[in-house]
Amino acid sequence: MLLLSVAMVCVLAAVQCNPETDAFKWQGVVPDVLSQPPNQMLKVVYDDRMMIMNGAIVTPTQVKNTPTVEWPAEPDSFYTLAMVDPDAPSRANPKLREFKHWLVVNIPGNNVAKGDTLAEYVGAGPPKDTGLHRYVFLVYAQPKKLTFSGSRVNNKSRRSRTKFHIRQFAEHHRLGQPIAGAFFMAEYDEYVPILSKQLSGR
Ligand SMILES: *[C@@H]1O[C@H](CO)[C@@H](O)[C@H](O)[C@H]1NC(C)=O
């Protein structure tokens, strides 16, 4: 339904466009997170059965487990995978933009498990009454294997997760534009207090 309506706008506007990635503009991920939409849709699948369609609304419960992510990868290249929420603590007042949900670097090909996890995956945790948040997955092709000092953040910690800026991170490490991306939206449900407790280290 979402893709259909974006596709219709494309036809009406008589411009060349890509209904899969134009949702990035329609939902403001461009310009809030990126300066241009990724060229390709990233395949993000939860629990082997729920594939993320751009802009789809899901529940935090549905995305609590680490998803599988696939992109067209060169086996000898290294990639960076990120998931961020620009709507922290809310889209209306994003003073903690962005919350870093997941960050893995030096991924050989698309073998995410073999990458260097700088921040372990934590699912969506939009606070109560803060409306829909956008959760954006991006993959960048690295120019080479990179060196990252500093400590890693596990899934029991909020440390260094807020006020992250994937655009700055990409510029700093010369990653260029993302080669693929996807995003979903979610608002509060009963999984959020469970995640909050996990992130407080208890
Ligand atoms: C947290 O990370 C550990 C491995 O680092 C993993 O075994 C565990 O399932 C994760 N917990 C959640 C709730 O994702």
Please say if the pLDDT value at position 18 is more than 80.
no
pTM for this predicted structure: 0.91
Across residues 190-197, what is the average pLDDT?
A: 97
Q: How many domains does the chain have?
A: 1
- Is the residue at 175 inside a domain? yes
Compute the distance from residue 155 Cα to the ligand 1 centre, in Å: 6
pLDDT per residue as tens digits for the range 121-147: 999 999 999 999 999 999 999 999 999
Instruction: Kindly indicate the confidence band of residue 151, based on its pLDDT and cuts at 50, 70 and 90.
Output: confident
- Is the residue at 54 inside a domain? yes
Instruction: Kindly indicate the confidence band of residue 66, based on its pLDDT and cuts at 50, 70 and 90.
Output: very high
pLDDT per residue as tens digits for the range 174-193: 999 999 999 999 999 999 99
For the domain that residue 35 is a member of, what is the CATH number? Answer: 3.90.280.10
Check the CA dihedral 48-101-119-80 and report its sign. Answer: positive
Range of the domain at 103: 22-199
- Please give all residues whose beta carbon lies within 6 A of any atom in ligand 1, as ranges: 120, 155, 198
Q: Whose CA is nearest to atom 8 of ligand 1?
A: 155
Question: Is the CB of residue 91 less than 8 Å from the CB of residue 133?
Answer: yes
- Is the residue at 180 inside a domain? yes
Kindly report the average pLDDT of the chain as a whole number: 92
Compute the distance from residue 174 Cα to the ligand 1 centre, in Å: 30
Alpha helices in 53-185 (DSSP H): 166-172
